[in-house]
Structure 1
Amino acid sequence: MVVCFLILVFIISLVSFTYASDPTSLQNFCVAVKDSEAKGSNVTPVNVNQLPGLITLGISLVRIDYAPYGLNPPHIHPQANEVLVVVEGTLYVGFVTSNPTNPNVKNKLFTKTLNPGDVFVFPEGLIHFQFNVGKTNAVVFAGLSSRNPGVITIANAVFGSNPPINIDVLTKAFPVVVNVIKYLQGQFW
């Protein structure tokens, strides 16, 4: 427990030195949707909703617990960088660059396998993921550089929108046949 507390203090210190407040305007709404079909991970947030004292600090935290082979699926935080510290287990993590000015790194995937004590940084607004590659549970803590980092899970947003995105748009964006899009849309609640 002391180790977890020290990790939290480290994350808070690191993030608070980096950003004293949110660098961009914040959204004034939050729509929370419970994921009823778990991917083998559970995210426990600590943000202004749970700890109002964070409102002026420009930071938030999460604890993520992973079952063996559990996944925190590809997602983005549109308003925050994320610093992740592995407490237990082995994770395969990564992020993808998006439309940079250098064509040599366009959509480049950066990955690493992390073990207890390892740290990884996910830049603001980039698609990233974590996957427990071990046969045991994994636990991480992450600090985010915003009191409201936002989270957009890519597959949920694209294939699980309500109402659904027009199939013509999706078949053109993802060069696949209509039946594949219908199948993917049918996987979401």
Structure 2
Amino acid sequence: MKGVKFLVAFVILALASSFASASDPSPLQDFCVAIDDYKSGGMCSYYVCEWEVLQGPKACHTRRLPFFRAQHSQKHNKSGWLSTVTPVNVVQIPGLNTLGVSLTHIDYTPYGQNPPHTHPRASEILFVQEGTLYVGFVTSNPDNKLFTKVLNKGDVFVFPIELIHFQFNIGKTNAVAFAGLSSQNPGVITIANAIFGSDPPINPDVLARAFQLDQNVVKSLQAKFWWDNN
């Protein structure tokens, strides 16, 4: 009887472990171009395939296959962060749908930064093309340990999934970096924007206690304009 109980317990634990480590299912076709109305898909990790809506694989147009011509942006000169993140994900390339990868191109002016943020659905690997960046990430509770590194041209750094991270141009010239992400729809939460720029605002009493700040300081922060460098 004890042997049976042990076997049952072992099977339950094995099943629980398999469920806990399960990932998104593998795609059932070579590629799945997202429909034009991709925004109707909400926050799902993938969108409906265009060919499923338009009746047949021939409905996929060449213009919507995995290709995107990025334009160099100068708007970071006007941003409070002094940086611009140009995303290349399923929104820009519908053909990335279900492929599990995306890319960002980041421009930094001197002392520009990509402020503390997190990607809820992806790990990130950063490659510095030009300049010198001070980068880092913070581990989860209870340690909240900070890992940092100064990166120069050609260096690579990894930010684990969901952890808060940042990049800061400490050089006197412009910097450029490319980041690969392990999701076609990685998402981004910029910490300051989310906390102090939420719509509607978070009750100042909550933030005053959470950040150990005077309530007037919280209200002042909430009244500021929080830039979007994407």
After TM superposition, the structure 1 = structure 2 runs for residues 177-188 of structure 1, keeping only pairs within 5 Å, are 177-188=214-225
Q: In structure 2, what is the equivalent of residue 138 of structure 1? A: 175
Matched residue, 2:132: 90
The letter of the residue matching 1:43 is: V
Whole-angstrom CA distance in 1 between matches of 2:165 and 2:23: 21
Residue correspondences, number: 158
Structure 1 CA distance for aligned equivalents of residues 214 and 90 of structure 2: 43
Q: Deviations over 1:106-163 (max 9, x none)?
A: 0111000000110000000000000000000000001000011000000000000111
Q: Which amino acid aligns with 1:46?
A: V
Looking at structure 1, the residues matched to 80 and 215 of structure 2 have their Cα atoms a distance apart, in angstroms, of 27
User: Which residue number corresponds to residue 85 of structure 2?
Assistant: 43
Which protein has the larger Cα radius of gyration, Structure 1 or Structure 2?
Answer: 2
Q: 1:160 aligns with which of 187, 197, 201?
A: 197
Which amino acid in structure 1 is aligned with residue 190 of structure 2?
A: T
1:76 paired residue among 103, 115, 118:
118
Q: Which residue in the other structure is 1:14 paired with?
A: none
Percent identity of equivalent pairs: 69
Match of 1:175 in 2: 212
Return 5+ residue gaps in structure 2 as ranges: 1-21, 26-38, 44-75
What is residue 29 of structure 1 aligned with on the other side? 42
Return structure 1 stretches of 4+ with deviation > 3 angstroms. 22-25, 35-38
Q: How much has 1:37 moved relative to structure 2?
A: 4.0
SS for the counterpart of 1:56 is: coil
Q: CA deviation at 1:39?
A: 0.8
The yes-or-no answer on 1:147 pairing with 2:184 is yes
Specify the code of the residue in structure 2 equivalent to 1:54: L
TM-score (norm 1): 0.78
User: Which structure shows the higher strand fraction?
Assistant: 1
Aligned to 1:6: none
Following superposition, the deviation at residue 29 of structure 1 comes to: 2.4
Provide the secondary structure at the position in 1 that maps to 2:217.
Answer: helix
Displacement of 1:179 in angstroms is 1.1
Q: Is the 8 A contact 1:24 1:79 kept in 2?
A: no
Letter aligned with residue 148 of structure 1: N
Q: Distance in 1 between matches of 2:147 and 2:161?
A: 14
Q: CA offset at residue 50 of structure 1? A: 1.2
Structure 1 residues 168, 96: closer, same or farther in 2, change over 3 A?
Answer: same
Q: CA deviation at 1:45?
A: 1.0
